A and B are shown apart, each in its own frame.
Chain A
């Protein structure tokens, strides 16, 4: 009953006219920046931070949170329409979402993404409200050894389920791991592969890499055969809304994606990144038609989209209950709280219940606003594809450049976009897939950081990975996945998780 009264308090705060307005502004802004390729939530929140000085703490946090999950919604729009993921989570959506768009089902893909995200957002918001403290306890049990084993599991899943050529997929994962090594070694301070350029001291920028290998490469590809393929996308638009069959196909993936995303989202430091990849892998394994994945499978959009939105909501748990940021956006939110004179930490729940519950209630309201806003907009977004490409692509290029630059105000990130755009094009020509590269790039540094930290903490004793129960379980799961794959009979059904387009 306490929960009900808490929620009632939350809704009374969140439904004040002022806070509803800020929630709407946040959700709108978030959708907008999510739709503009390259401009991420981090940069936007950083730019808006000073404005929040003048607002009430609750209002400012409601608005910033709205930008964050709004961007998750918006980000999938460009991933589906233009093959341009702005965040690691929407990279997976691009795989099947873009293929759906090419088949004229862009509207359906967008609707599935929006509905899946709404469902996941509602469920995980409720989870945050009920289970925040116990879930925090689980998150704290994850030490370096556990993270290492989790990353191993993630990499194993990515390799064994990759597209036809396992060797090529592994090569891409390894290339990603190597690219992830660029930057200062956090243990010794030695710069690695920076070519003496101080601007790469903190490593390559994920957004630059993703925009390059997906977005710019896609533009180069489209320019090559301009006029041919793209027309298909708009001429064959059959229906904007999902059919009854589509709904049936998305129920399972949405439910599983929500579960996976909610769980992985609470892990600070990389958990949420795995959510959409993991969901895609699971859906493909469970599917009766795994061959459809990578060619526009509806489950390949519904699952990961639900997972990433659920993860986005539950990543608020460590922030609200511990004052610990799970990702750079959460770090900014902490900054916003400190500026407002709120000390982030476990006391926020008890000392500022209106703030805590107000934010939670606003998250649900915000999700509702997003789905109401976005469903009617789908027709508009799809019409965007009718814009002639010679007008569209310079705009995309300009937006990407502005977006990437805005992350760190670092020109070298733009050089990286150009380089990876070219690399992505070459990879496409040689039929290498960019998704494993991206996963390797994201997981590699986490894998190394945690491996070395666990080894230092255990004073060089590698048994630390098998004597800790959670770590052992994760490693056994990795082993199980490997065994399953290398059994020849099952190997035949090994499918294409990371299929890029064949065209």
Chain B
């Protein structure tokens, strides 16, 4: 009965051109934001900061639910199959919406067909850093060393992660063969680089920034096309390897079939949250670059990212069953 009246109301609203009636309906209860990674990681932190503000804008609380596992695929798959009513949304990342779909042989969901994009929220730079005992100060010196010393290795947060592939892209563009050492997450990878068990690391800038500031890690370059505002002295890798660009990003998605006016309402709340001074400040501390895009821009972004990573994934020969 409820859905019938809502459909009638919706039809009337569209017919008469009064969208306000339908908009007022959503949301009438709390919204669940699924974060496809464990609590405490960078996606989780971004998600919680945004959820807090977005909830205020929507007038309903947003409950954060961490559904970690399988590199983000579990949580993303869960949202793909959720009711398309806007009450279950996903904090997607470069992993869930570009890399995993390219890497996984068995695809748990389709990143384009199964989702309604809401908004691209932030871009988070990655960083190439070395233990200070490694005698290199620039990206070029690292490339030279890698060519003369085949035993050089880099640590990453895991196989098929954006950081592993940032390294793979680096190897392919620089013509080096730095060995990849995967870890279970960024924490243990950092530990081994700080202890100089592995000399080189690709990491998220937020997670490495404390160690770079204290001098325990020497940052050689950020992976974004431009330098990061939080580290103006650290060059972009692209200054040595023109065209090199990778970053991690966070974006909101609803399940495919979510009514456009609901998506619009969520987009409005998300974009407003990204313009909030407190959020801007937090994101800056976090070295995250604010975007706050439209749904259409996010859709384009996803296709562009898939197109960009496909050759890297093929060349690095990463595939997971």
Q: Is A252 an interface residue (CB 8 A)?
A: no
* Bound CA–CA A199/B187 (angstroms): 23
Chain A: interface secondary structure?
Answer: helix
Return the contact of B187 from the options A49, A144, A331 (Cβ within 8 A): A331
Q: Report A-chain residues with C-beta under 8 Å of the C-beta of B211.
A: 323, 345-346
Give the A interface residue count (CB, 8 A). 53
Q: Report A-chain residues with C-beta under 8 Å of the C-beta of B52.
A: 50, 53
Q: Is A189 an interface residue (CB 8 A)?
A: yes
Whether A189 lies near B160 (C-beta < 8 A) is yes
Q: A49-B48, A269-B188, A341-B285 are in contact. Are A324 and B197 (CB under 8 A)?
A: no
* Bound CA–CA A347/B39 (angstroms): 23
Q: Is A245 an interface residue (CB 8 A)?
A: no
Whether B188 lies near A328 (C-beta < 8 A) is no
Q: Report B-chain residues with C-beta under 8 Å of the C-beta of A318.
A: 191
- Which of B4-12, B90-98, B177-185, B235-243 is the interface stretch? B177-185
Return the contact of B69 from the options A328, A347, A408 (Cβ within 8 A): A408
> Nearest Cβ in chain B — how far from A321, in angstroms?
11
- Which of B70-78, B116-124, B138-146 is the interface stretch? B70-78
Q: Report B-chain residues with C-beta under 8 Å of the C-beta of A339.
A: 45, 48-49
* Bound CA–CA A333/B216 (angstroms): 21
Q: Is B60 an interface residue (CB 8 A)?
A: no
Return the contact of A49 from the options B39, B77, B182, B285 (Cβ within 8 A): B39
Q: Is B159 an interface residue (CB 8 A)?
A: yes
> Nearest Cβ in chain A — how far from B234, in angstroms?
15
Whether A46 lies near B66 (C-beta < 8 A) is yes
Whether B40 lies near A335 (C-beta < 8 A) is yes
Whether B67 lies near A344 (C-beta < 8 A) is no
Q: Is B321 an interface residue (CB 8 A)?
A: yes
* Bound CA–CA A50/B318 (angstroms): 36
The total of interchain contacts (Cβ-Cβ below 8 angstroms) comes to 142
Whether B216 lies near A346 (C-beta < 8 A) is yes
Whether B197 lies near A191 (C-beta < 8 A) is no
Return the contact of B192 from the options A143, A190, A323, A332 (Cβ within 8 A): A143
Whether B321 lies near A190 (C-beta < 8 A) is yes
Q: Is B314 an interface residue (CB 8 A)?
A: no
- Which of A109-117, A161-169, A212-220, A451-459 is the interface stretch? A451-459
Indicate with 1 or 0, residue by residue over B143-187, a CB within 8 angstroms of chain A CB atoms. Answer: 000000001010000111000000000000000000101111101
Residues of B44-100 at the interface with A, using a CB-CB cut-off of 8 Å, are: 44-45, 48-49, 52, 64-70, 73-74, 77
Whether A322 lies near B77 (C-beta < 8 A) is no
Whether A456 lies near B153 (C-beta < 8 A) is yes
Give the B interface residue count (CB, 8 A). 57
Q: Report B-chain residues with C-beta under 8 Å of the C-beta of A45.
A: 39
Q: Which residue of B lies closest to A145 (CB)?
A: B197
Whether B214 lies near A346 (C-beta < 8 A) is yes
Whether B195 lies near A140 (C-beta < 8 A) is yes
Q: Report B-chain residues with C-beta under 8 Å of the C-beta of A322.
A: 191, 194, 216
Whether B320 lies near A338 (C-beta < 8 A) is no
* Bound CA–CA A141/B213 (angstroms): 22
Q: Is A291 an interface residue (CB 8 A)?
A: no
Most chain A CB inside 10 Å of its own CB: which residue of B68, B74, B197? B197
Q: Is B210 an interface residue (CB 8 A)?
A: yes
Q: Is A440 an interface residue (CB 8 A)?
A: no
Q: Is B190 an interface residue (CB 8 A)?
A: yes
> Nearest Cβ in chain B — how far from A93, in angstroms?
27
Q: Report B-chain residues with C-beta under 8 Å of the C-beta of A143.
A: 192, 195, 197
* Bound CA–CA A46/B67 (angstroms): 12
> Nearest Cβ in chain A — how far from B309, in angstroms?
16
Q: Report A-chain residues with C-beta under 8 Å of the C-beta of B181.
A: 453, 456-457
Whether B210 lies near A202 (C-beta < 8 A) is no
Q: Report A-chain residues with C-beta under 8 Å of the C-beta of B103.
A: 189
Q: Is A238 an interface residue (CB 8 A)?
A: no
> Nearest Cβ in chain B — how far from A383, in angstroms?
36
Q: Which residue of B lies closest to A327 (CB)?
A: B187
Whether A331 lies near B40 (C-beta < 8 A) is yes
Whether B192 lies near A344 (C-beta < 8 A) is no
* Bound CA–CA A142/B195 (angstroms): 8
Q: Told that A140-B196, A409-B67 touch, could you supply 5 new A-B pairs with CB distance under 8 A?
A: A189-B160, A189-B321, A322-B191, A335-B39, A348-B210
Sampled A-B contacts (21; CB under 8 Å): A49-B48, A50-B64, A139-B195, A140-B194, A143-B195, A184-B320, A189-B103, A198-B77, A201-B70, A323-B210, A331-B185, A335-B40, A335-B41, A341-B282, A345-B216, A346-B214, A346-B216, A408-B68, A408-B69, A410-B67, A457-B153
